A and B are shown apart, each in its own frame.
Chain A
Amino acid sequence: DGGITQSPKYLFRKEGQNVTLSCEQNLNHDAMYWYRQDPGQGLRLIYYSQIVNDFQKGDIAEGYSVSREKKESFPLTVTSAQKNPTAFYLCASCSSGTAYNEQFFGPGTRLTVL
């Protein structure tokens, strides 16, 4: 089955620690995205990548970093510079072969800072 996987489902971090969230897709999509979701705030774009070895900042990139070394993978690192990292993180992907940008989502990772 094609799809997007995110791991882990739940993640706990101590203040001051960096943590990396995994996102893998086997849909052969070129574009991948990371969103942060907080209650009542909808989805906010952190980073996105349209092609391997290239990525762009979204609306709330401060305190986050990404890499795109393989088409299938787009890991997100939450650094200690992110002041309030507790949130639900969603990864998505999209085919560049369509004009309308339908995005497919993973199941999410809930990050809690202790």
Chain B
Amino acid sequence: AQSVTQLDSQVPVFEEAPVELRCNYSSSVSVYLFWYVQYPNQGLQLLLKYLSGSTLVKGINGFEAEFNKSQTSFHLRKPSVHISDTAEYFCAVSLGGQGGKLIFGQGTELSVKP
């Protein structure tokens, strides 16, 4: 069965520091990959997605992610975080079809401190 693992449940970081949120998935077939952000008491908002082509994907709010097929990873990065980036981040995988279902990781809580 396919699964998604977010390797860190919490990531504390100081403002203006770089950050990487790690995501690994298990699948033997081609996948589509997503990162979503959730601010407190809100729904999920798409940050970026990898569908095909260039393995480096740029998203909103200065985030980017790199798809690594050999390591089955899709880590999210930002070179300099702001207080406003404090939120929960979810990695998700789609196999396409399958009823349109996404498989979500457990989430990583990013806490940016001044």
Interface set of A (CB-CB < 8 Å, partner B): 4, 6, 31, 33, 40-43, 45, 48, 50, 56, 88, 90, 92, 94, 96, 99-108, 110
Contacts and interface: CB of A to CB of B under 8 A. Distances in A.
B100 A105 contact: no
B7 interface: no
B99 A105 contact: no
Given A43-B90, A100-B94, A101-B32, A50 B51 contact: no
B106 A45 contact: no
Contacts, number: 65
A40 B100 contact: no
B97 interface: yes
Contacts of B45: 105
Please report whether the interface of chain A is mostly helix, strand, loop or mixed according to DSSP: strand
B102 interface: yes
Interface size class of B (residues with CB under 8 A): 20 to 34
B106 A106 contact: no
Contacts of B106: 40-42
Chain B CB within 10 A, most for which of A6, A40, A103: A103
Interface string B85-111: 000001000101111111011110000
Given A42-B90, A42-B104, A42-B105, A101 B96 contact: yes
B104 A100 contact: no
Given A100-B94, A102-B34, A48 B101 contact: yes
B42 A101 contact: no
A40 B9 contact: yes
